[in-house]
Amino acid sequence: MIGRAGIYTALFALLQTATGFAEYGARLKFPAEVPAQPALFLRRTDDDYQTRRARGLPAIVVLTAEVIIYYRATDVEEAPGAELDALIEAVEAALLPGPLCDYQTLGGLVSHCWIEGTIKKDDGALSGQAGAIIPIKMLTTS
């Protein structure tokens, strides 16, 4: 298995190609600590092992991460949810596979990398501070 550090580094580098962000970070901060918004952060979460060693096969490992987006509206009349949706779409576009493959592999470091699950959103309607959490999964073997 390729080292986790290399996989997460490749994912973060790919996410930095998402357009529209003023700041990118591999260490999560509170929204109030991030003056340059919109901002994107990558947070490593769980590893899910699906053991197949009884059959002599390597375990399937699904690494998970979360992409956290912050967007602060500067105009009190602005609906920050609309801009938040555009930022989510920028992350989706960054994770699209290249022209030679039907799926994202992070340059061959993983079998597949994709968004899966519920994208949690706070549209910032009351405070002007919007945010989203995008669940990412990466399939590899041990």
The pLDDT assigned to 116 comes to: 95
Q: Which long-range contacts (CB under 8 A, 24 or more apart) does 47-55 make?
A: 47/4, 49/142
The pLDDT assigned to 20 comes to: 95
Q: DSSP E strands: which ranges in the chain?
A: 23-25, 39-50, 60-72, 112-115, 120-122, 129-141
| Sign of the alpha-carbon torsion through 56, 57, 58, 64 | negative
pLDDT tens for the chain, 142 residues long, are 468 899 999 999 999 999 999 999 999 999 999 999 999 999 999 988 877 666 677 778 899 999 999 999 877 677 778 899 999 999 999 999 877 778 899 988 999 999 999 999 999 888 889 999 999 999 987 6
Q: Assign 92 to helix, strand or coil.
A: helix
